[in-house]
Amino acid sequence: MSKRRTPLAPTEVATGGILAGLSIALGLAGTVIPVLSIFFTIGSTIPIAMITAHMRPRASLGTALITILMSLAVGGIQSAQTVAQAVAVGLVVGYLARKEAHRAFVYGAALLLGIAGGALTWLLLLVLSESRNLVLESLRTTTNGYIALIGKIPALAPQTDAVQAIINTWIEHWYYWIPPLGGLGICVLTLVAHWLTMKVLRRITITAPWDPLVDTANRECTDAPTTPDPFPISLRDVTFTYPGSDTPALRGITLDISDGFTVIAGPNGSGKSTLSLVLAGAQPTSGHVIRPGDVGLGDEAGTAVVAQRSELQFLGDTVAEDIAWGMNDDERASLDLPELLHTVGLEGLEDASPRRLSGGQLQRLSLAGALARKPRVLISDESTAMIDSRGRRELLEVLHALPALGTSVIHITHDATEASSADRLIRLRDGHIDASDAPDLLEDTYSQFTPVIERSIAAPQPYQGGSIDHLWVKNVGHAYDVGSPWENTVLSDVSFIVSPGQALLITGENGSGKSTLARILTGLMRPTWGECTLGGDPVSLRVGDVGLARQFARLQLQRPTVAKDILAAAKVGAAVGSSDSTRRHRGASSTLVDSDQLVAEALAEVGLPGDLASRNVDDLSGGQMRRVALAGVLASHPKVLVLDEPFAGLDVESRRLLSDVLRKRRADGLGLIVISHDTDELIDLVDNHLHLAQGVIR
């Protein structure tokens, strides 16, 4: 097998483009503002050094070339020369950082680069006579201007002629001092840039996150192209362990999957999404995966994946562009877009921006993009989790119809209803197969896995103590793109009040304006008209007092590990450069709270083990992410908590635990606003129920 070098990954292209643009902007600023040129030049080296330090040589060299060419096109020769100097220094500095070079090597490299830079300066000025004359004349004009200003001072006027004669002599003998001075500048620039680069690299990383499916695509690029043939699939004693983890996410998985509608079910954290990665082509830690041919991930007649977090999957500026992303002209011509949009329930939204779609609509868009490639097998990782009841039924009907059209479906879920309709049910627990057969043959054991949530007999009592901070929404309305032809009103005259200890349920179908209302309630977005106040103050001035548990939990997790994210959400040790590990709880006693204890208590409150604190947030399942995000919000002790689709993506046990947590917090005075498309399991948790339809409370 002859191995070929793989092309630049999308992450490399995107990162290189962004940092190249930053380097160009700083270089141009140095040309426009000569007084600050040295500072902008130093800044221009850092992005190139970061690319060189952490990415392949091909990526760094490509970025360097694009940076120089773009600076030449935008700013001309002078800007290109400045940027080229910064690029050369950045490449050297990045290489030194990549090799973790000793200080002596850094000084030696700076000296050699300075000598080379000085020699190159001398050679260019010697050969390019017109450029040399231009540079020297510019220097002479600048110094004459300064001398003229000095000459206006009576005490210094007699010396100006002598000074001007000396400067003219220096300019005439430029070859004695300009090359050495230029070399010294490059040497100093290299040392300062290396120092700054190391400071930056200690704080951030630009390496591409580990992605087992990207690794799969790269492996297939090493061979000659073949026709995808991913199905049927057999797994033999497969184990999968995430990098940096000691505990396998899958253990001893042996199974065969053939045509039809197959459901993989299990509680949050059981390994469902990990198994879907292996089925999509991820290389297991041990064991064997047997297929007739290549996975063909993303290829026509290959494997398609509709992932759990659809908000991370769209690429196009419009629905139509996103669906056709990556297709060639022939594939676009053969695509029946209206029929496809009708199939997934997005008809009439060809020109809509994905950024304006609700969570359920984004799920449908992801499914449409997958079906556009006519895959042999479709892996649906909880694709129905964020959709209302009617939309869920419609999507399941689409998925059930696909096997008859030649696309086998592997559907990941924790919903007993969805599992019962499968041709075959594979149940996971703690990373291994608990049972595998037709759903009707597993009815008894499956009911043990999906216990029924018992309804609470007594509703939480209203909060009786403490200060009264009412959340008052008065005639709130909101429109996007106001004043443009694309103005879109999503909320109109919404009004209600939530007092401490009270709970309100707001329901509505996907696209009714629920998520926009959630952002207004938390102060993250100001309404176009109307008022939203907490205790008489605009919520935009009290950001943090109204907490938000987002529908898409991954967008809320901002730190690399569970513990750091909870502490950051609770505003403990989150400040850059802060070494304090304790803080006073807002509204609590004056005793100091230990960070480790805070994290442990926060995790325990949402039913997660304490050893999860050290886990990387990207290694969590979707349900675990939602609970970690909620733990962080609760640890910040908000006055009111807004939950956007709180039960989406959670198994039955997690839903029951969340309900208990919210009831307890209500008794302690927390106001609740639950935004959802379903009323099941939520009516007994709240005092009042409002329905939002087309932006209006009904």
Q: Which residues are catalytic?
A: 382
CB 426 within 8 A of CB 233: no
423: exposed, middle or buried (Cβ count in 10 Å: 0-12, 13-18, 19+): middle
Going 561 to 567 to 568 to 573, the CA torsion angle's sign is: negative
C-alpha torsion 682→686→687→693, nearest 10: -60
The contacts of residue 228 (CB under 8 Å, 6+ apart) are: 293, 294, 295, 296, 299, 300, 301, 302, 303, 376
| H/E segment holding residue 306 | strand 303-306
**What's the length of the chain?**
698
Q: What is the DSSP string of 600-623?
A: HHHHHHTT--GGGGGSBGGGS-HH
Q: Quote the radius of gyration of the chain (alpha carbons, Å).
A: 31
Identify any residues that bridge with 673 across adjacent strands, giving them in sequence order: 504, 642
CB 230 within 8 A of CB 299: no
Tell me which residue of 192, 181, 12 sits closest to 86, measured CA to CA: 192
Tokens read off for 237: 């004693």
C-alpha pair distances (Å), 140 with each of 38, 159, 363, 634? 20, 17, 66, 67
C-alpha pair distances (Å), 569 with each of 212, 548, 633, 656? 29, 11, 6, 24
CB 630 within 8 A of CB 662: no
